Amino acid sequence: MPGFELIGDEEKQAVIELFDKGGVFYRYGFNAKRQNIFRVADLEEKIKTRVGAKHALCVCNGTAALKLALMGAGVKAGDEVITQSFTFIATVEAILELGAKPVITEVDKSLNMDPLDLEKKITGKTRAIVPVHMAGVAAKMDEIMRIAKKHDLPVVEDSAQALGATYKGKALGTIGVAGIYSMDFGKIITTGEGGVVVTNDEKIYLKAREYSDHGHEQNPKVPRGEDTRAIWGFNYKATEFHGAIGLAQLKKIDFILEQQKHNKQRLKAGLGDIPGIEFREVPNPEGDAADTLIFFMDSRKTASAFAKKLAAKGVGTKNLPDAVDWHYAGTWTHIFSAYDEYKGKNLEDVWSQSTGLLRRAIALPIMVKTTDQETDEIIRVVKQTAKEM
Ligand SMILES: Cc1ncc(COP(=O)(O)O)c(C=O)c1O
């Protein structure tokens, strides 16, 4: 999902222009000096139009965006928030930051939240549900939304890896009460660090905006220095550098998605006849951001050996298995040992269904600039390696 592959003159010019037109790096105020150009605000407008949300708030990173979205959705200390076992650790950290308890569901063959397990994990303390659209593949949102509705719980989508991806025609991040995107260096578009909250709910938006800016209400009747406040907050503001670069990157998103889809389709078609492998289930084939191609092998041992052989031949994997420790709750004893129910347990046994899938999974990265010839070479190497197993 690498917008970083396309960083070029457009991003450079956008930053030069930021210097040339007043050099105001701060997102608010200094209207005359900045020639009334507000890049973060412009990026927010463009993102909300792109995804079809009423509100967008750009902040310093996706982890902060998730914390803000959860806070806006009403999560407080002592609540339980349900998310899935396969995610980047940031999802759970955002929940912990609010003093809430992360409750983890199994993933199914989509490698996203297993709706069957979700229903089992709901208790009287559950305050929100956070499905994660890992690698731009949608979680099973119809089922998840149905369960959430039944239990009257808000869904906050962790779409950090899914800007531009859709599910049944709707942008991921806009199906629940709020969603978030990340623009860190590995994401579909990048501003180095950067995050976005999107929502149709004005209350969520305002709470997130106020908390991200020390409680500033942006009261139009008074200057910023005399601004009113109802809550205390923190500082998660984005800078105009985020705005400038984000605007340049956003112009490239269709190209990024098209290229990735093309490259993923070619790779998948080329690997389809390898005996004994099973591809990850993709509930949104049309709207997949096509960030990785994931398939399962018959055992943990085979998958591990396979990945090692691929690496030796110059074919890398993405997160599975190389960085599974940062993406699988089953390895996060430093977090879950704080809770009595997990003490002394092997977490990989706690989420055994997830372990059974994730430990057998190989994720091949899909890059924007890979040529058809290069894809064909990867196919050749992967097939050859499969024969050697
Ligand atoms: C699923 C998921 N959630 C949250 C985040 C956090 O985003 P950021 O790195 O912008 O803080 C990431 C980033 O990798 C992610 O992949």
Give 288-314 pLDDT, tens digit per residue: 999 999 999 999 999 999 999 999 999
**Which protein residue's CA is at the shortest distance from atom 8 of ligand 1?**
62
Residue 52 is predicted with a pLDDT of 98
Residue to mutate, 182, 236, 327, ligand 1, most ligand atoms under 8 Å from C-beta:
182
Instruction: Report CA(347)–ligand 1 centroid distance (Å).
Output: 22
Preceding amide of 321 cis, omega within 30: yes
Range 229-233 average pLDDT: 97
Range 183-208 average pLDDT: 98
377: left (phi over 0), alpha (psi -120 to 50) or beta: alpha
Extract the tokens encoding 278. Answer: 């099973």
Residue 333 is predicted with a pLDDT of 97
Percentage of the residues of the chain whose pLDDT score is greater than 90: 99
Confidence of residue 389 (pLDDT cuts 50, 70, 90): confident
Spatial separation of the C-alpha atoms in residues 166 and 155, rounded to whole Å: 16
Residue 54 is predicted with a pLDDT of 98
- Name the nearest CA neighbour of 236 among 182, 199, 194, 181: 194
Instruction: Report CA(66)–ligand 1 centroid distance (Å).
Output: 9
Quick check: 179 pLDDT over 90? yes
Of how many residues is the chain composed? 389
Residue 1 is predicted with a pLDDT of 64
What is the enclosing helix (H) or strand (E) of 350? Answer: helix 347-350
Residue to mutate, 68, 111, 161, ligand 1, most ligand atoms under 8 Å from C-beta:
161
DSSP 60-104: S-HHHHHHHHHHHTT--TT-EEEEESBS-THHHHHHHHTTPEEEE
Atom number, ligand 1, closest to the C-alpha of residue 161:
16
Atom number, ligand 1, closest to the C-alpha of residue 66:
4
Residues in contact with ligand 1 by the CB-under-6-Å rule are 61-63, 66, 87-88, 90-91, 132, 158, 160-161, 182, 184, 195
- Residue-wise pLDDT tens digits, 10-44: 999 999 999 999 999 999 999 999 999 999 999 99
Strand extents, DSSP E, 276-372: 278-279, 292-296, 361-365
Question: Amino acid identity, residue 203?
Answer: K
Instruction: Report CA(89)–ligand 1 centroid distance (Å).
Output: 8
Range 199-205 average pLDDT: 98
Extract the tokens encoding 300. Answer: 């943990």
Range 180-194 average pLDDT: 98
Instruction: Report CA(63)–ligand 1 centroid distance (Å).
Output: 6
Atom number, ligand 1, closest to the C-alpha of residue 195:
10
